[in-house]
């Protein structure tokens, strides 16, 4: 077997052909004289084969042979055989390294992509009762770690109770005292609205849009699926070690992370559309949804350090376009005096 390479000394560099014969490296130079150089492999100074490049050196006089020819590995293997008596060490090492890297890649894919995806799908099989129980535990943890405005929470709960919505889950809404412009829904019907976003609203129509959006995340189990993706690795570890109690503790310890559940654009669009339907079902001007999205966009532009809600709700411009293009968004309704009055009491309690 031959390989093409380059033979170099301090004064020259010339193309050559390489082959091994009985423990010696034959270097056939392609110069005018067609000189032949023979090295005893046991006497070479070094021989390495890394990343497909062979380098063989002789110190006295200083000479170097290099080759990136795919066949060059046989020279290194012959060198190893002559010097150590071990065959194909480097190639095997490379194969083992490749196997290890491949295995690590498979594990990484499973850990960061496959397991979260499976966890999201598995969430669909969790019973409503279990989801409600889980949501209660998480909701209690949020309440303990937050400053809850009891007066505002009382009135916003009355606001929700006035709405005609899906009653699969017992909806409980609380107001968190914070300048953050934020709102989020936990599995099972627990919804938290920050005073920062309520203070910036102009009317009950925007609040109806916000609550309709978050209620949709609950009723469509978006919150449960997003949360399942986020704790998938913990779920696997708890299953492996049989530590169900540890999983519950782990979930509660990460409750702050659930304030920014990651929803896809499709899920956000679905929540917007169903939030819009909540407004229509309650004869609330659907323009309130457009106004809410514009409010969030304007706050993000002027006070980005306050903005939490929009950062987890992607592509606001396309969401506004989606609502505006919906024929139902053009429908008009009179004032809902009851909701208007409760909204005013909420803002007065902030």
Q: Which pLDDT belongs to residue 163?
A: 97
Q: Which residue range forms the structural domain that includes residue 99?
A: 92-125
Residues 273 and 182 reside in one and the same domain:
yes
Cβ pair 158, 171 in contact under 8 A: no
Residues 303 and 173 reside in one and the same domain:
yes
Residues 130 and 245 reside in one and the same domain:
yes
**Domain harbouring 60, CATH code:** 2.30.29.240
pLDDT averaged over every residue in the chain: 81
Which of the listed residues 27, 57, 87 is the one where a domain comes to its end?
87
Q: What own/partner pairs with CB < 8 Å and gap ≥ 24 does 76-85 have?
A: 76/47, 76/48, 76/49, 78/20, 78/23, 78/25, 78/41, 79/25, 79/41, 79/44, 79/47, 80/47, 82/23, 82/41, 82/42, 83/41, 83/42
Residues 112 and 164 reside in one and the same domain:
no
Q: Which pLDDT belongs to residue 309?
A: 52
Residues 47 and 131 reside in one and the same domain:
no
In order, the DSSP letters of 4-41 are EEEEEESS-EEEEEEEEETTEEEEEE-STT--EEEEEG
Residues 162 and 298 reside in one and the same domain:
yes
Which of the listed residues 106, 125, 144 is the one where a domain comes to its end?
125
Q: Which pLDDT belongs to residue 81?
A: 84
Residues 58 and 150 reside in one and the same domain:
no
Residues 107 and 135 reside in one and the same domain:
no
Q: Which pLDDT belongs to residue 231?
A: 61
Residues 139 and 221 reside in one and the same domain:
yes
Cis peptide before 110 (omega within 30 of 0): no
Q: Which pLDDT belongs to residue 348?
A: 97
Sign (positive or negative) of CA dihedral 269, 272, 278, 281: negative
Residues 102 and 63 reside in one and the same domain:
no
Count of residues in the chain: 350
Which of the listed residues 104, 125, 146 is the one where a domain comes to its end?
125
Those residues whose C-beta lies under 8 Å from the C-beta of residue 267, and which sit 6 or more positions away, are 217, 220, 222, 226
Residues 336 and 230 reside in one and the same domain:
yes
Rounded to 10 degrees, the C-alpha dihedral 169/177/162/284 comes to: -110
Per-residue pLDDT tens digits for 72-100: 888 888 888 887 765 444 445 556 666 77
For the chain (350 residues), the mean pLDDT of every run of 10, in chain order, is 90 91 90 87 88 88 90 87 61 60 64 53 74 88 92 98 94 95 91 96 96 94 75 48 43 55 77 93 94 86 51 66 86 93 97
Q: Which pLDDT belongs to residue 31?
A: 85
Looking at the 3D structure of the chain, how many domains does it have? 3
Q: Which pLDDT belongs to residue 267?
A: 81
Distances from the Cα of 59 to the Cα of 8, 72, 107, 253, 350, angstroms: 12, 21, 46, 64, 84
Strand locations in the chain (E)? 3-9, 13-21, 24-29, 36-40, 46-50, 53-58, 63-67, 172-176, 183-185, 190-194
Residues 133 and 276 reside in one and the same domain:
yes
Q: Which pLDDT belongs to residue 311?
A: 46
């Amino acid at each position: 077997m031959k390989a093409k390479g380059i033979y170099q000394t301090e004064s020259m560099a010339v193309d050559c052909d390489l082959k091994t014969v009985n423990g010696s490296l034959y270097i056939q130079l392609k110069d005018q004289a067609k000189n032949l150089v023979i090295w005893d492999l046991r006497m070479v100074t070094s021989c390495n084969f890394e990343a497909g490049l062979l380098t063989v050196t002789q110190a006295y006089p200083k000479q170097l042979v290099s080759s990136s020819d795919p066949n060059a590995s046989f020279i290194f293997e012959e060198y190893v055989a002559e010097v150590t008596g071990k065959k194909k060490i480097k190639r095997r090492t490379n194969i083992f390294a490749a196997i290890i890297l491949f295995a690590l890649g498979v594990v990484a894919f499973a850990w960061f992509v496959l397991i979260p995806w499976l966890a999201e799908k598995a969430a669909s099989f969790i019973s409503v009762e279990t989801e409600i129980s889980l949501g209660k535990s998480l909701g209690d943890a949020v309440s303990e770690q937050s400053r809850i405005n009891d007066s505002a929470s009382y009135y916003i709960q009355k606001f929700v109770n006035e709405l005609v919505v899906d009653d699969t889950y017992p909806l409980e809404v609380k107001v968190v005292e914070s300048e953050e412009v934020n709102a989020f829904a936990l599995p099972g019907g627990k919804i938290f609205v920050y005073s920062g976003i309520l203070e910036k609203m102009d009317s009950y129509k925007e609040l109806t849009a916000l609550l309709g959006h978050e209620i949709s995340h609950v009723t469509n189990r978006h919150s449960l699926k997003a949360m399942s993706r986020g704790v998938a690795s913990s779920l696997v570890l708890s299953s492996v070690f049989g530590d169900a109690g540890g999983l519950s503790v782990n979930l509660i310890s990460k409750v702050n992370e659930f304030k920014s559940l990651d929803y896809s654009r499709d899920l956000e669009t679905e929540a917007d559309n169903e939030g819009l339907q909540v407004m229509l079902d309650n004869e609330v001007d659907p323009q309130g949804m457009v106004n809410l999205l514009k409010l969030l966009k304007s706050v993000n532009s002027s006070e980005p350090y306050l903005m939490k809600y929009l950062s987890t709700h992607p592509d606001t411009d396309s969401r506004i376009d989606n609502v505006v293009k919906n024929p139902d968004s053009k429908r008009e309704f009179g004032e809902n005096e009851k909701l208007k009055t409760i909204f005013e009491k909420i803002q007065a309690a902030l």
